Amino acid sequence: MKFFWFVSILAFSLAMSGCDENVVYKAHEDIDDGLWYIKNKPTFKVEITDTTATYNMYYLLRNTLQYPYYNLYLTKSFTGPDQKVISNTLEEVFLSNETTGKPYGHGLGDLFDHKIPFVKNYKFPRSGTYTFTLTQSMRQNPLPFVMSVGISVEKTGVK
C-alpha cells in the first residue's frame, strides 16, 4: 500500500513539474497507423485573449527511428478570427542530422519528440480564435513513421 502511494505522489509531482504557466495552447493529433496522408490536415484552434503579450509558436512532432528522411516539409496555414489567411507557408524542419542520421529531439526507445520553433515574438493583432492547419508536403504519400503532429503557443514573458 505504501508503494502505491509513493508511486502516486511521484507521478503527480512529475505531472505538475511538467506544467508551464506560459503555455497558452498545446495540442497534438495522432496519425493513424503512423501513415500521414497528404489529405490528412490536422487543424488546431487557438483562443487568444491577451494581445499585449508576445508569443513563441512551435511545431510538436513525434516520429519513430524508422522515419526514412532527415527532414520534413510542412505547409502551415495560419488564419485569423476573421477567417482571413495570415500566412500559408511551406517550411522545412529537420528531424535528424543529415550526415550521421542521429535524431534531434528527445527520445524514448524508438520514439522521438521534437519541439521546433516556427514563429518567435509574435503579437496577435486582435483577440479571438486563430486556426493553424498542418499538411505534410513530402513527395511520399502516405509519409510513414510520423506518429503525431501538433503545435504549442507560449507567452514569452515580454510585453
List the pLDDT tens digit at each of the 159 positions of the chain: 444 334 334 344 444 445 578 999 999 999 999 999 999 999 999 999 999 999 999 999 999 999 999 999 999 999 999 999 999 999 999 999 999 999 999 998 999 999 999 999 999 999 999 999 999 999 999 999 999 999 999 999 766
Q: For domain 23-155, which CATH number applies: 3.40.50.410, 2.60.120.380, 2.60.120.260, 3.20.10.10? A: 2.60.120.380
Beta strand 106-108 with 23-30 is unpaired
Cell matching residue 65: 527511428
Which 8-state DSSP code applies to residue 31? P
Q: What's this model's pTM, rounded to 2 decimal places?
A: 0.85
Which 8-state DSSP code applies to residue 11? H
Cβ-contact 141, 37 below 8 angstroms: yes
Domain map (residue ranges) of the chain: 23-155
